[in-house]
Amino acid sequence: MTILYKVHNNLYVNLTNRCSCACTFCLRQTRDHMEESDSLWLEHEPTVEEVKEEFKKFDMTKFDEVVFCGFGEPTERLDALLEVAKFVKETYQKPIRVNTNGQASLINKRDTAPEFKGLVDTISISLNTPNEQKYNELVRSIFGDKAYRGMLDFVKEVKQYVPHVVLSTVDTTLTKEEEAQCAKICEDLGVTYRIRPWED
């Protein structure tokens, strides 16, 4: 099964297939792998030791960044994520990015933001849309009406502990007016706005 896989110059960590959302646009609905990976559906959730062993198979000097992002929400396994991130920092001195739906504190039933301090360099959170109702319709979170506000609350908290916080939307899925509204949300929050390229 695929625990680590390459995307461009980065190495991605596939920790879990669990997710608190069932997004209408999720790539998992139309594919089982990424360009340079085998299937990202896991036979079992890898232990921290299994993940560490996988790193030995790669020449880590070739990668710019280690990214926690697979076929699931990485903060569903937050403790494992942080343990692996600490290992990567200490062993390979690589920057760490987490791609997330921003629902870590809802998932783990605690304020998780402080736990990222010193371990995660960049956190990229899916904003998807400036409209709360549309967000709920798109992401179909198990947290229902708490999801959007929970995500924005997490942004406010985590920016105190992580140097680079990015909120993203997908190119071609929003109007220019909606993108401007997203940019304003990011400006008000004091974080970076990024429009990701569409992938099918």
Q: How many domains does the chain have?
A: 1
What pLDDT was estimated at residue 32?
Answer: 56
Q: Could you give phi then psi for residue 156, rounded to 5 degrees?
A: -60, -40
Distance CA 99, CA 38 (A): 20
Classify residue 24 by its DSSP letter.
Answer: T
What pLDDT was estimated at residue 127?
Answer: 95
User: Which domain does 20 fall in, by range?
Assistant: 4-196
CATH of the domain at 78: 3.20.20.70
**Which of 38-42, 74-78, 179-183, 190-194 is predicted with the least confidence, judged by mean pLDDT?**
38-42
Q: Quick check: 36 pLDDT over 80?
A: no
Distance CA 159, CA 114 (A): 10
Q: Using alpha carbons only, give the angle 171, 34, 27 rounded to the nearest 5 degrees.
A: 50
Q: For 130-159, how does the pLDDT look when each residue is reduced to its tens digit (9 = 90+)?
A: 999 999 999 999 999 999 999 999 999 999
As a whole-number percent, the residues of the chain with pLDDT over 70 amount to 94
Burial class (CB in 10 A: 0-12, 13-18, 19+), 145: exposed
Distance CA 155, CA 173 (A): 22
Residue corresponding to tokens 């992938």: 199
Distance CA 68, CA 75 (A): 9
